[in-house]
Amino acid sequence: MDPPIYDMTEDVESVKKAITEVVEDGRDVVLVMHSYGGMPGAQAVKGLGKKERADKGLPGGVVRLVFLAAFVFPEGFQVSPRGQTKNFIGIMKADLEKGVLVFDPALRPELWWHDLSREEAAKWDATVKPCSLGPFWTTTTYAGWRYIPSTFMLTSRDKVFPAEVAQQQIDFAKAQNLTGLENVEKIDSGHFPMLSQPQEVADLLRKAAGL
């Protein structure tokens, strides 16, 4: 982030590197992605799926993707054209000169932390940092959910990624040929269920992993 990254490439490569180290050790991976993480995560798994690797006689692989209130985009998707912010939601404040995105602190309590106690909200809000604009101008090139079995965890009280918007992405994905987006789980939470509903998230992740 310092300096800001130009596009999503570094994020994709970081995820890919971490997964590769595990699958090359012959182990299976369940990749959990939250929010923006669905973009680089779904792209990073190219060539790392369990079936793809098995077809080449290789052990290990990604056995499931979990989209935890995460974006499910097809190939060729771009949040906004480079240099523009027209599709950014209200909490996203762009500093075009610095190339960073700031999440409006005045809106975070209501949009991000509304299902947390005041103390918990303050604790997590203090950890928020700007992020690079570049990834949001990147065009996606691979949609791993088409080929790897996937679970979507829909956050029913999400004010940033509303349930109706998430459902549109789910319906689109399910309508595509070869889609692996087979399971949808609903959580009664805002955008950060791992903070407000940690036990429920843990239980659903175990279920997604077949444990």
36 with 73: CB under 8 angstroms? no
107: closest CA among 190, 21, 205? 190
pLDDT of residue 173: 85
Beta strand spans in the chain (E): 28-34, 61-68, 92-95, 100-103, 131-132, 150-155, 181-187
Using a cut of 0.75, tell me whether the model's pTM lies above it. Answer: yes
105 with 125: CB under 8 angstroms? yes
Domains and CATH numbers, the chain: 9-77+139-208 (3.40.50.1820), 92-134 (no CATH)
Read off the pLDDT band of 174 (50, 70, 90): confident
Read off the pLDDT band of 175 (50, 70, 90): confident
Q: What is the DSSP letter of 37?
A: G
The encoded tokens of residue 57 equal 């006689």
**Euclidean distance between CA atoms 75 and 77, whole angstroms:** 6
114 φ, ψ to 5°? -65, -20
pLDDT in tens, 75-128: 999 999 999 998 899 899 999 999 999 999 999 999 999 999 999 999 999 999
- Tokens 């974006």 correspond to 71
49: closest CA among 144, 184, 119? 144
Higher pLDDT, residue 137 or 2: 137
**Euclidean distance between CA atoms 16 and 191, whole angstroms:** 25
CA 44 to chain centre: 12
pLDDT in tens, 61-77: 999 999 999 999 999 99
28 with 60: CB under 8 angstroms? yes
pLDDT of residue 178: 61
pLDDT of residue 211: 73
Strand partners, 94: 101
Q: Is 82 helix (H, G, I), strand (E, B) or coil?
A: coil
